Amino acid sequence: MATKTVTDASFQSDVLDADKPVLVDFWAEWCGPCKMIAPALEEISEELSDQVTIAKMDIMENPDVPGKMGVQSIPFLVLFKNGEPVAQQMGAAPKNALKSWLEGEL
């Protein structure tokens, strides 16, 4: 399963009410580091699809949720379990670092 696009309108059902953990990548089209980690997140999404859903939220098109979460710098990754944010990571990192961080939090 590839990454899922999440919006302000779908955040409640896609993330907070999800039946498994969801990693949300807060990003924007103009963000170079966001584009750098996108392929890694796609691969991780495929590799860990049975354990976690990886979702992307464009902060320019969806300002409400990022604003409520205090997102000030991107890329900003937040792992949600049972509707609660349990871990976060800011900035770009290599795929192996992202995957090992995520697996350690699952």
Active site residue 21: no
Catalytic residue among 6, 31, 55, 77: 31
**Rounded-to-integer distance, Cα 25 and Cα 41, Å:** 9
Catalytic residue at 58? no
Task: Name the catalytic one among 34, 55, 59, 79.
Answer: 34
- Greatest CA separation for the chain: 32
CA trace torsion 84, 21, 86, 79 (10° rounding): -110
Residues assigned a catalytic role: 31, 34
